[in-house]
C-alpha cells in the first residue's frame, strides 16, 4: 500500500483505510458521467479519529472530501484526489430525551433511521429528502436538505440546535447544543449548515423533534394546464390553510410517471398537485375540507389519496422519469411563488429549443423546481440536454430565484454561482472559506 494509506491505517486500523472502490467516487450525478478519483477511502470510528485523520491530512497537504450517503445531486461528495472521508461508522445516538423532544446523533446515522427512531417514540423529525434510506443526517446538514414537507416544517437547518464538527487543522469544535434559542456571537451553526463539507466535517448534531402529527391527509388535484395549477396553489395559500406539503408534476412528468399512479387521472390533465394537511385529527379534518375547496378552483378533478401509496409513488417519480430515456440531466432551482408558472413553462420552452424532452416536478409550495432534460446518456442527445440544463440558471436568476434550492452547488453548479451573486458577495464567501480552511484542503473545488 502507499505511504498515505499506511499512515492513515495507523490512525483508523488496517481495514478502515483502503484504496478506493468505485462506488465511493460518485454520487447521484453518476448518471451524468461524474466519477472522481482518490488515493484512499478512510472510515474513522468516531469524532476523535476524524480529528486525527484531518490533522494528518492538514499537516501533509492532502485534500479531504467528506462523504455521507453519496445521494447528493451536485457532485459534492465526488473526490478530486486526496482522500474520501466516510462518516458511515459514526451512527451512535449519543442522547435521546423523547419527553423534551430532542436528540443528539452522530453524523453518519441514516436519515430513515432517525425517522424510525422518532416515530417509535411518538415523535417526528420532519425534513424528508427523497433518498432517506441512503442519505445521512450529516449529509442532510451539509446540504441543508429539504423535501416535500419543508413547506410547512422548514429545511434541515431549522431543526439543528447544535453541531459538533472537526475543523482545520484537526480540532473538534462545538457550537450550540440542546438549547432551543441562541444568539450569542455570530451564527457559526448556520454557517456550517449547508456548507457542503467545505468549512468542516460534521461529526454530530443536536436536533429538535416535534410530536408526531396524529393524522395526515393527502389530496391530489388535476388541472388542464400549468397556469390553472399554479393559480390553485395561490388560492390554497390565500385561503389561510396551512398545507404540510404542496408538490407538483408538469405535463411531461405526469405523462411518464402517471402510468404507475395508484388512482385515476382524468382525461386532459396536464398538471398535477399533491397536497397534504396534517396535525391533530379533528384539526386536520377541518384543514382537509378547506384544502379540498381551495384546490377545486380550476381543477378537472380533486381526490383523496392513500398516504402510503401516494407518497411511495411520489418517491418513484425521479426514477420513472430517468428510466424513460435511460438518463437525464437535472437541476434544482427555486423562484418566488408568483413566478412559478413562468418558470415551469420556461423549462418546457428550453427543452423545445434544444430538441430534448423536458419534464419538471418538485416542491411547488416552496417554488422549488426539479427540472430534467431526458436523454440517452450514450447518444448525442446528452450534449443537448446538458446545454439545455445550463439555461436553467439564467432563467432562475431572471425570475428573482436561486440556482440551487436544496441540492447544493458542489462542482455541478459552481461555474454558475456568479450569475446569482455580485463579485463582492463571492469575495466575502471566499474570505469565509479561507478563515475556516486556510490551506484549501476541505472539499476543494466545491461550492465557492
Ligand atoms: C432519489 C433522490 C431523491 C432526493 N430528494 C431530495 C429532496 O427531496 N430534497 C433534498 O434536499 N435532496 C434530495 N436528494 C438529494 C440528497 O439526498 C440530499 O442532498 C442529501 O442531503 C445528501 O445526503 P448524503 O448523506 O447522501 O450526502 P452526500 O451525497 O454524501 O454528500 C453531499 C455533500 O455533503 C458533504 N457531506 C456529507 N456528509 C458530511 C459531513 N458529515 N460533514 C461535512 N460534509 C458532509 C459532501 O462532501 C457533499 O458535499 C435526493 C436524492 C435522490 C437520489
Q: How far is CA 247 from CA 178, 218, 243, 311, 429, in A?
A: 33, 11, 10, 11, 32
Q: In the beta sheet, which residues pair with residue 370? A: 332, 361
DSSP line for 22-62: GGGG--TTGGGT---B-SEEE--SSHHHHHHHHHHHHHTT-
Tell me what pLDDT residue 378 has.
85
Closest CA to 320 of 382, 256, 252, 370: 256
| Residue numbers in the chain where pLDDT is lower than 50 | none
136 close to ligand 1 (CB < 6 Angstrom): yes
Distance 134 CA to ligand 1 centre (A): 9
Distance of CA 334 to the CA centre of its chain: 13
Q: How many other C-beta atoms can be found within 10 angstroms of the C-beta atom of residue 120?
A: 10
Q: Give the pLDDT confidence score for residue 383 in this predicted structure.
A: 93
Q: Which long-range contacts (CB under 8 A, 24 or more apart) does 114-120 make?
A: 114/207, 117/93, 118/209, 118/212, 119/212
Residue 201 and residue 441 in contact, taking contact as beta carbons nearer than 8 Å: no
Q: Is the CB of 321 under 6 A from ligand 1?
A: no
Q: How far is CA 243 from CA 161, 230, 291, in A?
A: 25, 15, 8
Pocket test for ligand 1, best of 114, 128, 142, 360 (most atoms within 8 A of CB): 142
Query: How many A from CA of 79 to the centre of ligand 1?
Result: 15
**DSSP H/E element including 359:** strand 358-363
CB of 44 closer than 6 A to ligand 1?
no
Strand order in the sheet with 160-167: 93-97, 102-106, 201-208, 160-167, 171-176
Kindly state if the Cβ of 66 falls inside 6 Å of ligand 1.
Answer: yes
With b for 16 or more beta-carbon neighbours within 10 A and e for fewer, the 179-196 pattern comes to eeeeeeeeebbeebbbbb
Determine the distance separating the centroid of ligand 1 and the alpha carbon of 353, expressed in angstroms: 31
Residue 42 has phi, psi (to 5 degrees) of: -125, 130
Question: Can you give the pLDDT at residue 379?
Answer: 82
Q: Is 444 in the pocket of ligand 1 (CB under 6 A)?
A: no
Q: Nearest to residue 65, comparing CAs of 429, 439, 441?
A: 441
Can you give the pLDDT at residue 31?
75
Question: Which residue intervals of 260-358 are DSSP H helices?
Answer: 281-296, 307-315, 317-325, 340-354
Ligand 1 close to Cβ of residue 69 (< 6 A): yes
Q: Which atom of ligand 1 is nearest to the CA of 138?
A: 41
Residue 259 class from Cβ within 10 Å (0-12 exposed, 13-18 middle, 19+ buried)? Answer: exposed
Asked if 235 and 297 touch (Cβ cutoff 8 Å), the reply is: yes
Q: Which residues of 59-93 are buried (b: 16+ CB within 10 A; e: fewer)?
A: eeebbbbbbbbbbbbbbbbbbbebbbbbbbbbeee
Contacts with 390 (C-beta within 8 Å, 6 or more apart), sequence order? 416
The pLDDT score that the predictor gives to residue 25 is: 96
The per-residue pLDDT of the chain, averaged, comes to: 97
* Span from the CA of 280 to the centroid of ligand 1 (angstroms): 31
User: What are the tens digits of pLDDT across the range 106-165?
Assistant: 999 999 999 999 999 999 999 999 999 999 999 999 999 999 999 999 999 999 999 999
CA gap 165, 54 in Å, rounded: 11
Residue 162: count of CB within 10 angstroms of its CB: 18
Instruction: Give me ligand 1 centre to Cα 71, in Å.
Output: 5
Cα gap 208→154, rounded to integer Å: 12
**44 φ, ψ to 5°?**
-65, 160
In the reported structure, the alpha carbon of residue 153 is separated from the centroid of ligand 1 by a whole-number distance in angstroms of: 19
* Tens-digit pLDDT profile for residues 344-368: 999 999 999 999 999 999 999 999 9
**The pLDDT of residue 33:** 79
Ligand 1 neighbour 416 (Cβ under 6 A): no
The predicted structure's pLDDT at residue 412? 87
Helix (H, G, I), strand (E, B) or coil at 121: coil
pLDDT above 70 covers a percentage of the chain that reads: 100
DSSP state, residue 112 = H
Q: Distance between CA 297 and CA 201 in Å, rounded?
A: 48
Cell of 64: 479531504
Answer yes or no: are the C-beta atoms of 363 and 353 closer than 8 Å: no
CA 431 – CA 335 distance, rounded (Å): 28
Q: How far does the centroid of ligand 1 lie from the alpha carbon of residue 238, in Å?
A: 33
Taking the CA of residue 67 as reference, the ligand 1 atom at the shortest distance is 30
> In this structure, how many other beta carbons lie within 10 angstroms of the beta carbon of residue 167?
19
> What pLDDT score does 50 carry?
98
Check if 365 has its Cβ closer than 6 Å to any atom of ligand 1. Answer: no
Return the axis-axis angle of helices 381-390 and 340-354, rounded to nearest 10°: 150
Amino acid at each position: 500500500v502507499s505511504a498515505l494509506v499506511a499512515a492513515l491505517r495507523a490512525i483508523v486500523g488496517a481495514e478502515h483505510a483502503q484504496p478506493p472502490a468505485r462506488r465511493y467516487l460518485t454520487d447521484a450525478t453518476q448518471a451524468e458521467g461524474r466519477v472522481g478519483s482518490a488515493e484512499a477511502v478512510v472510515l474513522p470510528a468516531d469524532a476523535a479519529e476524524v480529528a486525527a485523520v484531518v490533522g494528518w491530512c492538514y499537516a501533509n497537504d492532502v485534500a479531504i472530501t467528506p462523504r455521507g450517503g453519496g445521494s447528493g445531486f451536485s457532485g459534492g461528495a465526488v473526490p478530486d484526489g486526496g482522500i474520501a472521508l466516510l462518516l458511515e461508522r459514526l451512527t451512535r445516538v449519543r442522547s435521546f430525551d423523547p419527553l423534551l423532544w430532542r436528540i443528539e446523533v452522530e453524523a453518519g446515522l441514516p436519515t430513515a433511521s432517525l425517522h424510525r427512531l422518532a416515530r417509535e417514540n411518538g415523535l417526528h423529525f420532519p425534513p424528508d429528502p427523497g433518498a432517506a434510506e441512503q442519505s445521512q443526517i450529516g449529509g442532510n446538514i451539509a446540504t441543508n436538505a429539504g423535501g416535500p414537507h419543508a413547506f410547512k416544517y422548514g429545511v434541515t437547518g431549522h431543526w439543528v440546535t447544535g453541531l459538533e464538527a472537526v475543523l482545520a487543522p484537526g480540532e473538534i469544535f462545538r457550537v450550540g447544543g440542546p438549547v432551543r434559542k441562541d444568539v450569542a456571537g455570530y451564527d457559526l451553526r448556520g454557517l456550517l449548515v449547508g456548507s457542503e463539507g467545505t468549512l468542516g466535517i460534521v461529526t454530530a448534531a443536536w436536533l429538535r423533534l416535534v410530536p408526531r402529527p396524529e393524522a395526515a391527509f393527502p389530496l391530489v388535484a388535476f388541472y388542464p394546464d400549468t397556469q390553472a395549477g399554479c393559480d390553485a396553489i395561490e388560492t390554497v395559500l390565500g385561503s389561510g390553510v396551512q398545507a404540510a406539503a404542496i408538490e407538483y408534476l408538469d405535463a411531461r412528468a405526469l405523462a411518464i410517471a402517471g402510468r404507475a399512479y395508484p388512482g385515476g387521472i382524468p382525461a386532459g390533465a396536464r398538471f398535477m398537485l399533491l397536497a397534504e394537511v396534517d396535525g391533530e385529527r379533528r384539526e386536520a379534518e377541518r384543514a382537509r375540507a378547506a384544502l379540498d375547496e381551495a384546490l377545486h378552483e380550476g381543477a378537472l378533478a380533486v381526490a383523496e389519496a392513500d398516504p402510503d401509496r401516494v407518497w411511495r409513488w411520489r418517491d418513484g417519480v425521479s426514477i420513472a422519469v430517468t428510466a424513460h430515456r435511460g438518463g437525464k440531466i437535472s437541476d434544482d432551482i427555486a423562484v418566488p411563488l408568483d413566478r412559478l408558472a413562468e418558470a415551469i413553462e420556461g423549462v418546457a420552452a428550453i427543452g423545445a429549443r434544444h430538441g430534448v424532452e423536458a419534464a419538471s416536478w418538485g416542491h411547488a409550495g416552496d417554488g422549488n423546481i426539479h427540472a430534467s432534460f431526458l436523454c440517452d446518456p450514450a447518444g448525442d442527445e446528452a450534449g443537448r440536454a446538458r446545454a439545455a440544463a445550463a439555461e436553467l440558471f439564467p432563467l432562475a436568476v431572471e425570475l428573482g430565484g436561486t440556482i440551487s434550492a436544496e441540492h447544493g452547488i458542489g462542482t455541478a453548479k459552481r461555474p454558475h454561482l456568479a450569475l446569482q451573486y455580485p463579485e463582492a458577495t463571492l469575495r466575502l464567501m471566499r474570505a469565509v472559506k479561507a478563515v475556516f480552511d486556510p490551506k484549501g484542503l476541505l472539499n476543494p473545488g466545491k461550492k465557492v
